[in-house]
Structure 1
Amino acid sequence: MIADLDHYFPKHEYPAIAMLPDNLIPVCLACNERIKIQQDPLDTSTLPGAIQRAFIPYKHEAIDEMEIDIEFGTRDKFLIQLRSLSQEETAIARVKNFNRIYNLSGRWPGRLENLYDSILSDLAEDNPEREHLDQWLRNKLTKICISSGKGKRKLPLYYLRLRLIEILLNDPLKFKAALRDLEMPMLPED
């Protein structure tokens, strides 16, 4: 949930731009107060050209250059890897720097687990017919995918949900795993 404004370029490092609207970005409270804190997006400690390794809010957004890969074997073991859509060195460095600042690959697996459980729980409440469960699930996931795609640029959670649903729809093994997980709560109790 968006609940705070972050000084993307920390005001203690860049006081001249502290109140410029382009430096104030909406973020969740946890990202601002516990994750990014006052990390400088211009990581100047390693190589020259730090501005090239930073996404600039409102001008050069991360969502246009990266993709999230989601791996999962068991239901509660999600792994996230941020990947540049380009093989260009500076683009790869930008994605790594973005992950350094917000630690998405460390924080989002827990969110994924909650999203996955929530989606399946909501779907199970619809009391689907067992006979055509696979087609029913595919149709429901497609609708969720479409609605998530509409908000993916505004809320990171929509983007994360969109990627999860896309993977479930496009990977037959992961779709079957979701189908099994959906069927589990539907089993009759003894």
Structure 2
Amino acid sequence: MIDKIKMIGFVLVFGIFWSTALVAVDTITGPRIEKYLLEKKRKKVLEALVIPYEADNVEAVFTSNVTAEEFDGKTIYTAQDGSIAFEFAGPASQGPMSGVIALSPDKEALKGIAIIQQSETPGLGSRVLDPENLANFRDKKVVPELLIVASGTASADNEVDAITGATLTCKALEKNINRNVQNTKTLIGQ
């Protein structure tokens, strides 16, 4: 009987100690993590809006160039030139993707795209979401909708060349862009 009481006492003390330690670590690191995530999001908004910044002046550049406004629970970031940016999330070929889409002041063309998170397989799939490839989307029309077409065949203002061998990721990105652009334009009354 005494052995069982000792075991229960040990488990309680052990549990209380580690629970307290975890709460302390969360309390100490929570604000740092929130600050990091906010800075990461602001960097991606600036990248999508094609606003240059340095690693040490993200906050200053963001606050002097971008305003944020809530529309039915969705944050819309507006740059000084009237272009807007918003976060998107959706499925991709290998898992979820999320990022920021920016539209031109007339809301008819992409200004830029920045990826926050993606789960695509390293290689061709993840190349679709690289900043170098996403630069190909700049100034592409989203009206009536953006199309990602076979590599080397893009000719219209709303067409972007796909990366050969990454068809599923390209199609997922196309669907995510078109769906989120349409939903956001409806939300803001465009």
Fold in common (TM above 0.5): no
The TM-score normalised by the length of structure 2 is: 0.27
Structure that is richer in helix per residue: 1
Structure that is richer in strand per residue: 2
The TM-score normalised by the length of structure 1 is: 0.27
Larger Rg: 2
